[in-house]
Amino acid sequence: MRVNTISMKVWLRIEEAGVKDGNIVMNGFAGAMPCETIISPEEALQVMRLGMKLAIIKLLVKGLFSPKKAATGPTK
């Protein structure tokens, strides 16, 4: 995924996820730097609620049945 801020754009790649201290902890890379992303259960539920749109669900279902390729970022 790509994170855009006013000052920079960073590609974020999550490689593993788990639970620590009641939060979801994801490890991966932000650009070339290792990073740890921590999200609370409440934040994760909010993200899930935002993703419950028909267009997003169709995109995910389509992705399940398309040929697999490396996760390198969004399609263009």
Q: 23 lies in a domain? A: yes
Q: 76 lies in a domain? A: no
pTM over 0.85: no
**Could you give the CA distance from residue 9 to residue 3 in angstroms, rounded to a whole number?**
6
Q: Which domain covers residue 29, as residue numbers?
A: 2-65
Tens of pLDDT, residue by residue over 13-68, are 999 999 999 999 999 999 999 999 999 999 999 999 999 999 999 999 998 988 87
Structure tokens at 45: 């539920």
DSSP H or E run through 36:
strand 33-39
Q: 24 lies in a domain? A: yes
Q: 30 lies in a domain? A: yes
Q: Structurally, how many domains does the chain consist of?
A: 1
Q: 16 lies in a domain? A: yes
